[in-house]
A and B are shown apart, each in its own frame.
Chain A
Amino acid sequence: MSAENREAPLLEVSDLKVHFGEASAPVKAVDGVSFSIGRGETLGLVGESGCGKTTTGMAIVNLVKSTGGSILFEGREITSIDHLSRAEQLQLRSQIQIVFQDPFSSLNPRMSLFQTLDQPLKIHGMAPQDRRERIDMLLDRVGLNPAHASRYAHEFSGGQRQRIGIARALALNPKLIICDEAVSALDVSIQAQIINLLIDLQEEFGLSYLFISHDLAVVEHLADRVAVMYLGKIIEAARYDEVFSAPKHPYTRALLSSIPVPDPKGRGEERQTIKGEMPSPFAPPSGCHFHPRCPVVMAKCKVERPSLEFVDEEHQVSCHLSTKQADTSLGTPKKGELA
């Protein structure tokens, strides 16, 4: 799905920066992130808490202001939307929607299901009769009972609320939906329902997803390409199968190897846990940000920051080892039968 769409990406993010605080000593939440998403494509954005994945998503929908770089949507500059007219802003917002992690805090408790879905349609000037039809269609499509349209958020379960969040995102026929940990708060049985729903909707409406998650098994299941973030930067990006079968960055390897695999047969094998925690963005380490935790750190890594380089046609890595050798001499992770 990814290759043929590469020429005309739906979304193109280049050198995106979101720095907070004083300009003299900024906290670099997102620090030079670049990626693109094609039509109908899913990009998985993964990393631990604090790596900047959510801030990246927020910057794309302009819920936080970026401080550098550019975001192009269908070739149009949307890094800042201040220069756009209100009509243009509205039009843009209808094209890019977001589904949040917590279906409890992202729905207005004082609005019924009908009102929640009616509001965006009304703002975008749809006639009442059409709105009613559209809402019925949306509810049916996400698997909610239209007879429940007058109920309020608290009357629904977590899974149902996430369906409401998805229906709301779909209401205006968007091209891109940013799913920020959209299935993380759900029980596994409900999580499977929502993942299936996202797959079905993508096929039906040709949607593109930016799928932000810390759950690598879910990302592998959904994404066409995967970008791994660490402390504000992308450290590896490739097709999903490359990332999961031949990860090149030591951090990606460590992440994959620390996932507990739901099969007790693999238990004898040692889990490769990495030491320490992600450093504070207030005081990032010198050189490569990952070097204090890296099992294969070299002297060079402590002083010189590697840049994100192509090691083959579709695989980017930011590591001194990979760019030098461009092979997998480090050995593959032991857990998870990734090969």
Chain B
Amino acid sequence: MMKSNIPNSTDLTCAIKVVDLHVDFATAGGVLPAVRGVSFELEQGETLAIVGESGSGKSVTALSIMQLIAKRTGRISSGEIVFDGQDLLQLDEHKLREMRGNAISMIFQEPMSSLNPLMKVGHQVGEVFRRHLKVDRAEAKRLSIEMLRKVGLSAPERRYNEFPHQISGGMRQRVMIAIALACRPQLLIADEPTTALDVTIQGQILDLIQDLKSENEMSVIIITHDLGVVAEIVDYVVVMYAGQVVETGYAREIFEQPRHPYTKALINAVPKLGLRTRTKQRTRLEEIVGTVPNLLALPAGCAFCERCDYAQEICSTSAPSMEVVGARRSVRCHFDLTKKDRHHER
């Protein structure tokens, strides 16, 4: 079904293409299907957001691209990840190492736990240059200080010699970005890059990612649950629920006319800044009842069925498939919200 939506891999405008990705984890309760057939593609120079709640599989999808799934428990059981004309899932560990931090790099939510506490921050940036550009110590230091300056650290010569605990959370995230962008990657994957940061610092980091993106002609995948961040910097959106993509589309389309009930509910559940001040009413928020389903015991029908305002009988018995409904626009729902013949709300 998704196949028709995917151009062939020789398409030069495509930055990365994920096709029917399945990732399973072995747990005490059985095999947990964390990612269940995820497909999407990202165009050159585009910022794509994978949006979803905890447990939706968004981070696992990102980690799969880097192939950082712990081998002890996790397994990419099938699928293709096409980058630069080759399937990353077929590469050996040596080739993967060449690629990680070089052509594709990643920043994480918690900069404190992603930096080595025993190593000066400058050396952690320098390591990337030494590893991938094979430069000597002095040159690595020069490049590192340059990079730290570029991500907006004040007094980069001094910061170079400091340890992660000596700098603030916002600065640590800047260091992470410096490490990630050191080799000018074609693709940056940012997993909740601003979630742990204060709102004023979040603004600074988002601006920084935007600036460096246009400067380096880079494509970005941002994993987030914050729809504000999506509206602010994202071009194309992939909404995930219970391990599957449930809706894709350009950011503006997604916000203006969500087609999947989950997307709509997600947008409505967020308090709107300025709304109460205008209306002078403290209304109840539109909540999404219940919780995400247990991936070890998924329902037979649609995974969102139990929580859906629009669910009909068919939803509990038959899982909807992904329908292409426009240019790079698709939805997984028996009752696309924009269809006129949709049944009435429950």
Contact = CB atoms under 8 A, between A and B. Distances in A.
A49 B169 contact: yes
B30 interface: no
Contacts of A240: 276-277
A280 B199 CA distance: 17
A190 B277 contact: no
Interface stretch (B92-100, B134-142, B223-231, B315-323): B223-231
A136 B227 CA distance: 37
A181 to B, nearest CB: 12
Nearest to B230: A262
A199 B284 contact: yes
Interface residues of B, dominant DSSP = helix
A58 interface: no
B217 interface: no
A191 interface: yes
A222 B277 CA distance: 11
A75 interface: no
A221 B280 CA distance: 10
Contacts of B204: 273, 275
B277 A244 contact: yes
B113 interface: no
A262 B224 CA distance: 13
Interface string B235-270: 000000000000000011001000000000111011
A188 B198 contact: no
A244 B276 CA distance: 9
A267 B207 contact: no
B231 A48 contact: no
A222 B225 CA distance: 21
B198 A189 contact: no
A337 B53 contact: no
Given A188-B225, A188-B227, A262-B231, A336 B274 contact: yes
B118 interface: no
B18 to A, nearest CB: 23
Contacts of B229: 260
Contacts of A278: 198
B4 interface: no
Contacts of B169: 49
Interface centre among B54, B198, B199 (most CB of A within 10 A): B199
B278 to A, nearest CB: 8
Given A214-B198, A336-B273, A263 B231 contact: yes
Contacts of B7: none
B276 A157 contact: no
B23 to A, nearest CB: 21
A273 B170 CA distance: 14
Contacts of B227: 188, 262
A161 to B, nearest CB: 12
Contacts of A273: 200, 203-204, 207
Contact of B286 (A192, A220, A221): A192
B284 A191 contact: no
Interface string A208-220: 0000001011101
A193 interface: yes
Contact of B168 (A200, A244, A260, A277): A277
A188 B280 CA distance: 23
A215 B177 CA distance: 25
B282 A216 contact: no
Contacts of B206: 260, 271
B291 interface: yes
A293 B133 CA distance: 38
B273 A258 contact: no
A4 B274 CA distance: 25
Interface of B: 53-54, 168-171, 198-204, 206-207, 225-232, 251-252, 255, 265-267, 269-278, 280, 282, 284-289, 291
Given A264-B230, A264-B252, 19 more contacts: A159-B291, A188-B225, A188-B227, A189-B287, A190-B291, A192-B271, A195-B285, A199-B284, A255-B200, A258-B200, A258-B203, A261-B273, A262-B231, A263-B255, A264-B232, A267-B231, A271-B207, A275-B204, A336-B273
